[in-house]
C-alpha cells in the first residue's frame, strides 16, 4: 500500500454517533477499497472499511483497516493451523470483533455501538456531544474518544527514554534496507 494513514484529527461526533472521516483518511480508504477504486465502479459506490473493536484489555480505541489491508491480515490468519490458540485469538479479535462500515456521501460514518463501547463512549457523551480523535498509524488508524487519547499520550513512553542526547529519531529504525 503506497498511501498511509498519517496525522491526528479531532472530529465532532453528533448525537446519532455520526462522525466525519478526515479527508486525508478518506483518500486512503478509497484507494484501499478494491471495489471503490475500480475504474468501472457503479455510480453511487461508497468507500468501505473495517473497524476492529477487539484487542487487548485496556486498549481504549478501535482500529480502522482498509479493505485491502484487512484482506492481507485475514490471509495471514488463514496460514495458521486451524484450532490453535493463536489462530482462535486472532480470529476472535480481528474478525469476529469487527464490523464493515461504509462512508456516506457526506464523508461520515455512524460509529458502531461496540466500537463506541471500546472507546469508552457513554450515552451522556452522545447526548452532550464529544470529539473523536483519528490517529494515523501507517497501515491502520486508531479511533479514540479525544480526552482518553490525550490522557494516553501523556502516559506514553518518552522519546527521552529511548534516545541518547543528540541522537536522531530515525536511529530507532532498523538498519536493513527494505528496498535493497
Residue 51 phi/psi, 5° resolution? Answer: -105, 125
The predicted-structure confidence for 137-155, as pLDDT tens digits, reads as follows 999 999 999 999 999 887 7
How does residue 179 score in pLDDT terms, banded at 50, 70 and 90? low
Using CA atoms, how far apart are residues 107 and 123, in angstroms rounded to an integer?
24
pLDDT above 90 covers what percent of the chain? 73
pTM, to two decimals: 0.87
Contacts of 81 (CB under 8 A, 6+ apart): 87
Q: Which CATH class is domain 8-172?
A: alpha beta
Name the region of 39 (left: φ>0; alpha: ψ -120 to 50; beta: rest).
alpha
The predicted-structure confidence for 87-125, as pLDDT tens digits, reads as follows 999 999 999 999 999 999 999 999 999 999 999 999 999
Task: Locate the domains of the chain by residue range.
Answer: 8-172
**What's the Cα-to-Cα distance from 42 to each of 9, 37, 84, rounded to whole Å?**
30, 10, 41
Amino acid at each position: 500500500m503506497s498511501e498511509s494513514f498519517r496525522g491526528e484529527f479531532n472530529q465532532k461526533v453528533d448525537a446519532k454517533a455520526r462522525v466525519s472521516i478526515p479527508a486525508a483518511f478518506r483518500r486512503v480508504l478509497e484507494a484501499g477499497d478494491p471495489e471503490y477504486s475500480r475504474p468501472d465502479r457503479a455510480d453511487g459506490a461508497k468507500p468501505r472499511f473495517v473497524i476492529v473493536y477487539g484487542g487487548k484489555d485496556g486498549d481504549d480505541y478501535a482500529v480502522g483497516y482498509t479493505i485491502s489491508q484487512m484482506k492481507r491480515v485475514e490471509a495471514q490468519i488463514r496460514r495458521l493451523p486451524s484450532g490453535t490458540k493463536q489462530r482462535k485469538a486472532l480470529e476472535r479479535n480481528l474478525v469476529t470483533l469487527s464490523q464493515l462500515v461504509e462512508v456516506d456521501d457526506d464523508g461520515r460514518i455512524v460509529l458502531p455501538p461496540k466500537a463506541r463501547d471500546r472507546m469508552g463512549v457513554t450515552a451522556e457523551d452522545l447526548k452532550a456531544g464529544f470529539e473523536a480523535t483519528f490517529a494515523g498509524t501507517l497501515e491502520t488508524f486508531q479511533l479514540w474518544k479525544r480526552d482518553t487519547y490525550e490522557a494516553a499520550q501523556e502516559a506514553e513512553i518518552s522519546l527521552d527514554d529511548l534516545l541518547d542526547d543528540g541522537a536522531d529519531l530515525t536511529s530507532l529504525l532498523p538498519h536493513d534496507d527494505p528496498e535493497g
